C-alpha cells in the first residue's frame, strides 16, 4: 500500500464513531505496513466460546470481534505487552483481565459489571509491592479504543530495523503532523515516511517506511534513540 493510499487522520477519526470504524482502522493500518490481515490471524468462535464456558460469563461483542480479527497477530498484540489468549483470560477482583504488561507490572481488564455492554469501558491495574493498595483505575471508555491503540503501539514497537524508541520530554518538530486524538495516554504524529506514537509525556515510539525515512527521523528528532 502506497503512503498516499491510507488516510491516517480519516481512519483514526472514524475509529471512534463505531466498532466497524475501529476494525477498519486496524485493517488499514496492518496493510499499510505490508502485512494485511488474513483469515487465520484471529481466534475462532469455538475458542472464544470455550473461554466463556470456562469462565462462566459472556464476552463483550467488541472483545470477541477483536480476538477474531487479529488476536493471533503478535505484531499487533504482543510486541511489547501481551494480549492474553482465550485460554489465559481470567477474573481478578471484579474485572476480566485480557492484557498484561510484559513484566507483569500492569494489567488491563473489563469490569465484570460492564460485560453486558457491546463496547464496554476498560480499566488498568498496577502491580504494587503492597497488594492492599492495588486498584482498578479507569483506562479507555471503549474497548475498541483500547484495542486499536494497542495494535498501533505494538506495531510501532515491533522488533524490526525500521522501528525505534526514545525517552524525551521535547516536543516533536513542526514537520510532524499531529493526528486525531486516539487513546487517553497517547498522542500520534505523522512525518515524512514515518509514524510516531508518544506514550505519556516522555516516551516515543516510531516506525519508518524505509531506511532513508528512519535516518531522516533521527536527524529531525535528535536524542538517545535505542537503536540509532
The model's pLDDT over 24-63, given as tens digits with 9 standing for 90+, comes to 999 999 999 989 999 999 999 999 999 999 999 999 999 9
CB 179 within 8 A of CB 189: yes
Among 103, 100, 101, 146, CA closest to 121: 146
**Higher per-residue pLDDT: 5 or 127:** 127
Does the global pTM surpass 0.85?
yes
Q: Are strands 163-167 and 203-208 parallel, antiparallel or unpaired?
A: antiparallel
Q: Which fold has domain 3-148?
A: SMI1/KNR4-like (3.40.1580)
Instruction: Kindly list the distances between the CA atom of residue 6 and the CA atoms of 10, 30, 192, 218, in Å, as whole numbers in the listed order.
Output: 9, 11, 14, 24
Q: Collect all residues with Cβ–Cβ distance below 8 Å to 131 and sequence separation of at least 6.
A: none
pLDDT band at 113 (very low <50, low <70, confident <90, very high): very high
pLDDT tens digits for range 83-98: 999 999 999 999 999 9
Among 190, 121, 108, 122, CA closest to 156: 190
Q: Are strands 90-92 and 186-191 parallel, antiparallel or unpaired?
A: unpaired
Mean pLDDT of 181-188: 92
pLDDT confidence of residue 127: 87
pLDDT band at 131 (very low <50, low <70, confident <90, very high): confident
Instruction: Kindly list the distances between the CA atom of residue 208 and the CA atoms of 54, 96, 117, 180, 192, in Å, as whole numbers in the listed order.
Output: 42, 35, 37, 19, 9
pLDDT confidence of residue 109: 98
Amino acid at each position: 500500500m502506497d503512503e498516499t493510499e491510507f488516510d491516517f487522520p480519516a481512519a483514526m477519526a472514524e475509529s471512534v464513531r463505531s466498532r466497524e470504524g475501529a476494525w477498519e482502522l486496524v485493517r488499514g493500518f496492518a496493510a499499510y505496513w505490508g502485512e494485511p490481515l488474513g483469515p487465520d490471524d484471529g481466534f475462532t468462535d469455538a475458542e472464544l466460546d470455550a473461554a466463556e464456558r470456562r469462565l462462566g460469563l459472556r464476552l463483550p461483542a467488541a472483545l470477541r470481534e477483536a480476538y477474531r480479527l487479529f488476536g493471533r497477530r503478535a505484531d499487533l498484540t504482543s510486541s511489547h505487552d501481551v494480549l492474553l489468549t482465550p485460554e489465559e483470560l481470567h477474573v481478578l477482583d471484579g474485572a476480566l483481565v485480557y492484557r498484561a504488561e510484559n513484566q507483569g507490572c500492569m494489567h488491563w481488564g473489563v469490569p465484570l459489571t460492564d460485560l453486558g455492554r457491546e463496547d464496554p469501558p476498560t480499566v488498568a491495574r498496577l502491580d504494587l509491592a503492597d497488594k492492599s493498595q492495588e486498584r482498578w483505575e479507569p483506562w479507555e471508555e471503549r474497548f475498541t479504543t483500547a484495542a486499536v491503540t494497542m495494535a498501533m503501539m505494538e506495531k510501532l514497537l515491533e522488533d524490526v530495523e525500521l522501528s525505534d524508541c526514545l525517552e524525551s520530554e521535547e516536543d516533536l518538530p513542526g514537520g510532524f503532523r499531529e493526528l486525531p486524538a486516539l487513546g487517553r495516554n497517547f498522542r500520534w504524529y505523522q512525518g515524512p515516511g514515518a509514524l510516531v506514537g508518544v506514550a505519556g509525556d516522555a516516551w516515543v515510539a516510531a516506525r519508518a517506511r524505509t531506511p532513508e525515512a528512519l535516518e531522516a527521523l533521527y536527524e529531525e528528532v535528535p536524542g538517545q534513540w535505542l537503536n540509532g
